[in-house]
Amino acid sequence: MKGFIEQTAVGSRVSGFGLPVSQLSHTIGRDMISKTTFANPPAVEVKAAVQFANNLRVADGRAAFHELIKKEFPIVVMPDQKPLQFDFGDYTLYTENQVYRLEISMNYFRLVATKYAGFQDFRQMYLAALSIFARHYRLPTFNSLAFIYSNKVSIPPGATFDECFAVKIEVPQQLGVSIYAGRGTLVFKEKDDLILLEIDPQFSGEALDSYGLNLTYASQQPMVSSAEQSVISAALDRGHVRLTDFFFAILQPKLIEHLKTR
Q: What is the pLDDT of residue 198?
A: 97
Give me the mean pLDDT over the 101-126 stretch.
Answer: 94
Q: How far is CA 16 from the centre of its chain?
A: 13
Helix axes 119-137, 230-250, angle to 10 degrees: 150
Q: What is the pLDDT of residue 46?
A: 97
Assess if residue 183 is contained within a domain. yes
Assess if residue 213 is contained within a domain. yes
User: What are the tens digits of pLDDT across the range 221-258?
Assistant: 888 776 557 889 999 999 999 999 999 999 999 899 99
Q: How many domains does the chain have?
A: 1
Q: What is the pLDDT of residue 7?
A: 33
∠ CA 162-169-36 to the nearest 5 degrees?
Answer: 40
Looking at 117-254, which runs of residues are DSSP E strands? 141-142, 144-154, 184-190, 193-204, 207-219, 223-224
- What mean pLDDT is reported for the chain? 83
Contact residues for 78 (Cβ-Cβ < 8 A; gap 6+)? 91
Assess if residue 8 is contained within a domain. no
Q: Which domain holds residue 95?
A: 14-260
Higher pLDDT, 225 or 179: 179
**Please, what's the b/e burial string for 209-220 (b: 16 or more CB within 10 A of its CB; e: otherwise)?**
ebbebbbbbbbe
Q: What is the pLDDT of residue 169?
A: 85
Could you tell me if residue 154 is left (phi over 0), alpha (psi between -120 and 50 degrees) or otherwise beta?
beta
Contact residues for 83 (Cβ-Cβ < 8 A; gap 6+)? none
Q: How far is CA 241 from the centre of its chain?
A: 12
Assess if residue 196 is contained within a domain. yes
Assess if residue 4 is contained within a domain. no
Assess if residue 29 is contained within a domain. yes
Give me the mean pLDDT over the 62-69 stretch.
Answer: 94
Assess if residue 7 is contained within a domain. no
Flag whether pLDDT at 32 surpasses 50: no
- Give the model's confidence band at 82: pLDDT under 50 very low, under 70 low, under 90 confident, else very high: low
Assess if residue 239 is contained within a domain. yes
Q: What is the pLDDT of residue 25?
A: 32
- Give the model's confidence band at 59: pLDDT under 50 very low, under 70 low, under 90 confident, else very high: confident
- Give the model's confidence band at 11: pLDDT under 50 very low, under 70 low, under 90 confident, else very high: very low
Flag whether pLDDT at 130 surpasses 90: yes
